[in-house]
Amino acid sequence: MKRRRWLQWGCAHCTALAGLAAAESQPEWSAPARFARPELAGEEGGLWAMMDREEARLRRSPFRIRDEPLNRYMADTACRLGGVHCPDLRVYTMRMPYFNANMAPNGMMQVWSGLLLRMENEAQLAAILAHEIGHYLQRHSLQQLRDAKARAAFATLMAGFGVYGMVGQLVLLGTAFAYSRDQEREADSISVVLMRGTGYDTREAPKVWSNLLTELKAGKDNDETLDSILFATHPSSQERQRTLEREAANGSGEIGEDAYRRRLTPPRFELLEDEIRRGRYDESLVLMDRLLARDPGQAELLYFRGEVRRLRNADGDAQAALADLDAAAQTGQAPPVTWRSLGHMQLARHQRDAAREAWLRYLALAPDAADAALIRQSLEPLK
């Protein structure tokens, strides 16, 4: 039996909006009044206090992205969607290269960097945030906390929200905190209402799902059902895609591609480095192709696609990687590591002079790089 690669994507319950049909056929949902903080002595107050303690840990976490313009942008987008609940919503962007977001009952939301890399515009981000806010407004996460009665499951849940040890326990976290299909459909329907009510184009929502499916299918098994707990707790991919495309056909509104690009560009290099470290080169290559289709000839993206191909090293990858790296270098705006990778490729082709020239260029551009000493050592035999 094939092992599920749950660790790859996390819960990822925020990726699709399969309840669009329900949103159309039923009376439109309206947001509840702002919640009052529960009394500490009660069960709900105790759960709330636990989440507050985990949030304090989250604020100090080394995984937290501390790009203030990006964090303000995330908070403002959630606030716009949350309406009267805005003061109670806090969004934490975390440097974790997996597609995941989650919401705690006290208003604490995490959004992981692997998800941010895969959003193309503000409307797609709004679809994710609105889905999580839907869980909050319907108090789904509170219900799940109450259901996590086993001590081990509850401890796992706490570890997940606190991020420490999260990657190693992500499978158990997904099991302990998976919403039901009905809860997911309800949050999906609410997200559409919130997007429309704040002027976002709901046609962007199904693209999130379609793009993720394309990546997962590019994996070695070519079977998205093996990759995430998402597929075990949600409607089938075929159902969701048909529903989304049908219901989003008449959408309109704000997309916000330029605004999203401006906010994500400053930390993008580090996030793309993290993406490569996942080691899922087939999936990462689909992402790089999609990014370059939107921004052809961009030096940073050419470097990363070339690096993915260099590391994957499948048939034809060496030549394609060299073409991407050369194209990046020709722009005059390539990151210094482009020449490091060119040096490795040229040495593998027994082009010693070209490898030496590339590495010398790298050291000239990045003399204090963490691997500068290692590159200098590698240059010794090439003199």
Instruction: Enter the tokens of residue 368.
Output: 């204090």
**How confident is the prediction for the chain on average, in pLDDT?**
82
Distance CA 293, CA 172 (A): 37
Q: Where is 93: in which H helix or E strand?
A: strand 90-94
Report the share of the chain in percent with pLDDT over 70: 76
Give Cα separations from 376 to 11, 364, 365 (angstroms). Answer: 43, 11, 14
Distance CA 260, CA 365 (A): 30
User: pLDDT (tens digit, 9 = 90+) per residue, 121-138?
Assistant: 999 999 999 999 999 999
Give Cα separations from 271 to 76, 118, 367 (angstroms). Answer: 22, 11, 23
Give Cα separations from 157 to 61, 151, 154, 228 (angstroms). Answer: 17, 10, 5, 18
Predicted confidence band at 162 (pLDDT cuts at 50, 70, 90)?
Answer: low
- Residue type present at position 49: A
Query: What domains sit in the chain, N to C, each tagged with a CATH number?
Result: 6-247 (no CATH), 268-382 (1.25.40.10)
Predicted confidence band at 172 (pLDDT cuts at 50, 70, 90)?
Answer: very low
Q: Where is 207: in which H helix or E strand?
A: helix 205-217
CA 203 to chain centre: 20
User: pLDDT (tens digit, 9 = 90+) per residue, 201-257?
Assistant: 999 988 888 898 889 888 766 554 444 544 545 555 555 556 556 656 677 899 999
DSSP string spanning 109-168?
Answer: EEEEHHHHHH--SHHHHHHHHHHHHHHHHTTHHHHHHHH--SHHHHHHHHHHHH-TTTGG
Side-chain half-sphere of 64: how many Cα atoms within 13 Å? 17
Contact 188, 202 (CB under 8 A): no
Assess whether pLDDT exceeds 50 at residue 189.
yes
Nearest residue to 275 via CA among 113, 94, 152: 113
pLDDT at position 305: 98
Contact 296, 328 (CB under 8 A): no
Contact 306, 328 (CB under 8 A): yes
Assess whether pLDDT exceeds 60 at residue 302.
yes
Please, which residues bridge with residue 110 across strands? Answer: 92, 102
